[in-house]
Amino acid sequence: MGYNPHGHYELWVEGTTLFAKVSGSWNMECAQEFEKEFMALAKHFSGGWGHIVCLNDWELGTLEVSEVIERLVEWCIVNGLERAANVYQPSALKHAVINKMIVSEQDGFVRAAFDNLQDAADWLTEEGFPTAIE
């Protein structure tokens, strides 16, 4: 018997960009639900795509979360993810955890971190994935 998911997220697609907003402290069950929903949305892209994730309200998670996110990142790169923008206020701890889970560059994939959503959207747009923030 598993635990109930702990943590929250929202996922949506605009154009060729998959958006995520994550919050709370995640357990493995939340990470697995996120992975499943994320993959279902990403499967609709027919070519390269971008991703922007807002992490300001994310309070990290259990150790098992890392395994799920690392697996999801590999799946994303194999399935056309070309650019990912992480958005969070400067935090040495978040920086270390995210860098452990997500590669910075691999097989044409590039990830960058920003302290605000507008800079992240501008970067994705410059990289070929028009992303507007309202």
Strand order of the β-sheet with 81-87 is 8-14, 17-26, 49-61, 81-87, 109-114, 105-106
Phi then psi dihedrals of residue 36, to 5 deg: -65, -50
Which of 73, 50, 54, 53 is CA-nearest to residue 128?
Answer: 50
Mean pLDDT within 31-44: 97
The strand pairing partners of 70, in sequence order, are none
When pLDDT is cut at 50, 70 and 90, the band that residue 2 belongs to is: low
CA dist 16 and 50 (Å) reads 6
Asked whether the whole model's pTM tops 0.85, one would answer yes
Please check the confidence at residue 119 and state whether its pLDDT lies above 70. yes
